[in-house]
Amino acid sequence: MIAVLGGTGDLGGALARRWAKAGLNVAIGSRTAESAARAAEALSASIGCKVASGSNVDVAALSDIVVVTVPFAAQEAILASIKGAVKGKLVVDTTVPLIPPKVMRVQLPPEGSAAVRAQRILGDAVTVVSAFHTVSAEKLADDEPFDADVLIFGDNKEARARVVELAGKAGLRGLHGGVLANSAAAEALTSVLIFVNKTYKVEGGAGIRLTGEFVLPD
């Protein structure tokens, strides 16, 4: 099972929807089991597949892969709360270090990236991969294909490859972006995209594509 913590939010809800539609076994987590249950029922009714739910900690404990889609300000507390439940598992962190009100300004944390911060909080017994930073939640929320890549970072290549596959299940091209520390690039780019969206009035939100001829790795 794949848990989506913060699954009542825009990004988490959209990922849960796409993965459930692709046939994955999805559980929505939220701060309270009640709000998660409401979101899961609405999603189940909309797409006609059963979606599980529970508190963030409960769905994390029941799942093999745990995707964290929470605001930067909530990252530390939520990761600390699930630390015991995700030992030996894959945690996919999507956190972008946006610090209101200056969300159009790159403000990377002292660790260099929110992803490295996640690894520090969770400890070495957890495999952290980061991804989905630059994806427009608005475009992801409807079922249409859209023009964007997902950069995927992690120190473990096999774990990254699992998230490349998850991006594919969500209808997006996932690309290996290197070590976890490289997550700084996609996290910083998100503030740039917010600036670009405002400056160029980009409806639904800009995305990124890597250009060139790619040869798939072995």
Residues that bind a second copy (CB under 8 A): 104-106, 108, 112-113, 136, 146-148, 151, 175-179, 181-182, 184-186, 188-189, 191-193, 195-197, 199-217
Q: Which is nearer to a second copy, 24 or 189 (CB)?
A: 189
Tokens of 3: 């848990």
Give least dist CB 69 to a second copy, A: 21
Q: Which is nearer to a second copy, 87 or 157 (CB)?
A: 157
Q: Which is nearer to a second copy, 56 or 190 (CB)?
A: 190
- Which pairs with CB-CB distance under 8 Å and at least 24 residues apart come from 117-122? 117/75, 117/76, 118/68, 118/75, 118/79, 118/91, 118/93, 119/180, 121/75, 121/76, 121/79, 121/80, 121/83, 122/79, 122/83, 122/86, 122/91
Give least dist CB 207 to a second copy, A: 4
Q: Which is nearer to a second copy, 76 or 146 (CB)?
A: 146
Q: What is the CA radius of gyration of the chain?
A: 16
* CB proximity list for 138: less than 8 A, separation 6 or greater: 10, 204, 205
Give least dist CB 109 to a second copy, A: 11
Give least dist CB 93 to a second copy, A: 16
